[in-house]
Structure 1
């Protein structure tokens, strides 16, 4: 009888150990929470994509993902739909009367050939290509498209953060944050000079080689003084890296010369202009933002070596 009790006790103990071992392994064998299908970036509401004016057609991507602690064992196919009314809601809720409002990307310049996105088995996400022809987009307008998941072949669609707003920055190879390092002089009185050192955001316009720059003034925002007609001009990099300047609207350019140095991303500029009836010149450099102190030191030394004076 005693031996029988010992055997029963050992059997129960062994069974308990096996059950414990099974419980310990269970989290590794199944997802810790239910899988859901969602649009990447929807939690933050807005994602940003760049459109390069240098391309006849540019491609941007939205992404669909499956949440979970384990890789999926089969393909998941989700269908994406557009909901332009979400852009109107964003404008109403988030922007004020002095803000430039977002508009839906013009329907005739973009396409989504297949709204079905496949998240391959074992992969964290799949992508939705969107093809856009950016040539007609205006530099001072704001554009978006609004996307939402419509259906999924497996798992459930997320119930929160269901919409992603994709906004666009218009760029080309010459746009971005630059710094002006120049001298402005009165032609009639050259001793009357002004040091012109400030940041300039060169905005892509027209094509892949042209940018717009504000002369002296700050960038325009709705509700503020509009400096664009009288203080903006275009800089175009030609095939031989010389540059051409042209007025954006009414800025009076009387003459110019210049060259773009692609290896160091610097415009070397001289231009003559008229401001309030006074003829002036501007000579100096317009260089791309540097990320480190060493990079800044190198470009400072280069400008000191190549600086010219009128």
Structure 2
């Protein structure tokens, strides 16, 4: 670039020595060389930007990091930072974080406007511990993380809970401003279900209105949610599933799974339900089945419940194909 600049300068100084026509040609050459100079300079700036060491908090596109935590135990989740740049760093990057619930307010306004029924909530303070809000990306390494201890018992499967954190300060290099904050979302799970509305069991059922002689075969599906370490929630019978607390309160039931895999059936809130024991085909148990090709989580249930003015007699199999190795990785 320096040689190019000197060439342009020399040609400017000598332009009076040439006739007008040649002066025009030289002016065109100088203009072309100037454009080349600007282009080269822009490329150098771009290359310097590419080689910069910049760190960012790892999340999805909406700056939310969604993690499942198992009910019935304390577990540790992590807010992770990743460092970009071609050359290794020569200094530690000490990052200080701070909680900032205004980030939750902004998320709610952006995503739900005035529909407060969908608003996400700050995770209650008694449900987590952050021992230190400082973590380090060591020199020469590309990541660091901040541990958070989570105690999910008591959280509702119908609410979203966030821990909002942002970078307060850092000791070296740069942070990506668009990834300088994170919303850590705590989601619950147990062995039988996850609280994301995506645990869907296939149903094979027989339904009879009490007092009737006819029995209906009822294939279908059921969405299952975790409630506690060993309890799950499903809709009773063939009642329509809706992700609505009022619907759950009226017509959902809870299945409690004992250590011996016996099932106790109870109302979630207001539905009238009666467990019926003694049916050899639907003995109110949970079991894991392996047919040699696939493995299934299976519930065999027998109960009666009331909906409207009718009492329904239910014989119900719920079945979910699963891979134990994949579940352990989640």
TM-score by length of 1: 0.76
CA distance in 1, matches of 2:217, 2:141: 56
Over 3 Å counting, the alpha-carbon distance change for 1:69 and 1:190 in structure 2 is farther
Over the aligned positions, Cα root-mean-square deviation in angstroms equals 2.3
Residue 44 and residue 90 in structure 1: after superposition, are their counterparts in 2 closer, same or farther (change >3 A)?
Answer: closer
| Cα distance change, pair 266–122 in 1 and its aligned pair in 2 (3 A) | farther
CA distance in 2, matches of 1:45, 1:37: 14
Larger Rg over CA atoms: 2
Partner of 2:179: 161
* 1:244, distance to aligned residue in structure 2 (A): 0.6
Q: What residue number does 1:58 align with?
A: 75
Aligned counterpart, 2:222:
200
Q: Is the 8 A contact 1:42 1:163 kept in 2?
A: no
> How many Å separate the matches in 2 of 1:269 and 1:111?
40
Alignment of structure 1 residues 136-147 onto 2, 5 Å: 136-147=154-165
Match of 2:260 among 240, 243, 247: 240
Q: Is residue 2:207 matched to residue 1:210? A: no
Alpha-carbon distance between aligned partners in 2 of 1:153 and 1:43, rounded to the nearest angstrom = 26
Confirm or deny: 8 A CA contact 2:264 2:275 kept in the other structure: no
Inter-partner Cα distance in structure 2 for 1:118 and 1:256: 58
Q: Tell me the equivalent position of 2:45.
A: none
Gaps of 5+ in 2: 1-47, 194-198, 278-283, 290-295, 324-330
Aligned to 1:181: 204
Structure 1 unaligned residues grouped into runs of 5+: 1-29, 292-310
Structure 1 residue 221: Cα displacement: 3.2
Choose from 257, 270, 275 the match for 1:255: 275
Q: Offset of 1:136 from its aligned partner? A: 2.2
Question: 2-side partners of 1:256 and 1:70: how far apart?
Answer: 68
Which residue is equivalent to 1:282? 314
- Report what 2:38 is aligned to: none
In 2, the alpha carbon distance for the partners of 1:280 and 1:160 equals 55
SS at match of 1:34: coil
In the superposition, the TM-score normalised over structure 2's length comes to: 0.72
> Are the equivalent residues in 1 in contact too, given 2:273–2:304 (CA < 8 A)?
yes
CA distance in structure 2 between the aligned counterparts of 1:174 and 1:54, rounded to whole angstroms: 13
What SS is found at the alignment partner of 1:190? coil
Q: Is the 8 A contact 1:54 1:173 kept in 2?
A: no
Extract structure 1 runs of 4+ deviating beyond 4 A: none
